[in-house]
Amino acid sequence: MLSSHYIFIDLFKMSQRHYLLGFALFITIVAAIFPNQDKPVEIVETTSVRTAKPINTLQSVSVVQSVDLNPRQWVVEKDSRDLFYVKPKIVEVPVQPKREVSIVVESPPPVAPPLPFIYLGKMTEEGQITVYVAKSGRNYVLRGGEIIDGMYKVELIDAQKIIFNYIPLNSEQILVTRGAN
């Protein structure tokens, strides 16, 4: 029962705060709609004027004007200046003559990929050498002059090496067989 009493007091304080804020809003709206029209307002404008005296000495000049702030009587004058207008500063950028630059980039000559073959062994029969190689899990039996997958041609097979010709670039590659067996 005691805790419900505190909740009631908090609700009362909250609603009292709302009433005060609503009243302040009402007074503000009424003051904006019906301004005091009896007294004209004085606007004081201060400008700084530099003189020929030493640097950093400024004289202050005050201008007092009497202005009626009743919005119903405002008229925009033709000669009035916008106080917030900032004249854009135009900076001319010197135009540099266009230079033609030709860049010649010589790409290196194409190079054949590394040999994809693994030497497995060889066999000599009636003076002709037959070599066994593997490529990507597939085994090949090679003799001189054979073409493999349209990319490599076996040029020469001897006791120490196999010479392949990479057909697209017509470049020779050597697979060493000496010491493998």
Q: Which residue has the tokens 């039996």?
A: 141
Q: pLDDT at residue 153 above 90?
A: yes
* Region of poorest pLDDT, from 37-46, 149-158, 165-174: 37-46
| 149, 138 contact by CB (below 8 A) | no
Select the more confidently predicted residue: 87 or 25: 25
72 SS3 class: helix
Residue 89 has pLDDT above 90, yes or no: no
Query: Each residue of 103-126: pLDDT tens digit?
Result: 888 888 899 999 999 999 999 888
Residues above pLDDT 70, as percent of the chain: 62
pLDDT in the model for residue 148: 92
């010589």: which residue's tokens?
Answer: 106
The SS3 call for residue 73 is: helix
* Residue 52 reports pLDDT greater than 80: no
**pLDDT band at 47, cuts 50/70/90?**
low
Task: Grade residue 57 by pLDDT with cuts at 50, 70 and 90.
Answer: very low
Range(s) of the chain covered by CATH 2.30.30: 118-176
- Please compute the mean of the pLDDT values over residues 16-21 and round it to a whole number: 84
pLDDT, mean of residues 31-49: 65
pTM of the model: 0.42
Segment 52-66 shows an average pLDDT of 50
Among candidate residues 124, 103, 116, the one with its CA nearest the CA of residue 173: 116
Sorted by sequence, the CB contacts under 8 Å of residue 168 that are 6+ apart come out as 112, 151
Dump pLDDT digits (tens) for 166-175.
Answer: 999 999 999 9
Q: What CATH number does domain 118-176 carry, 3.30.70, 2.30.30, 2.30.280, 2.40.10?
A: 2.30.30
**pLDDT recorded at residue 127:** 83
Q: Could you give phi then psi for residue 33, rounded to 5 degrees? A: -75, -40
Strand locations in 4-79 (E): 41-50, 58-67
Eight-state DSSP code of residue 71: G
- Decide if pLDDT at 78 tops 60: no
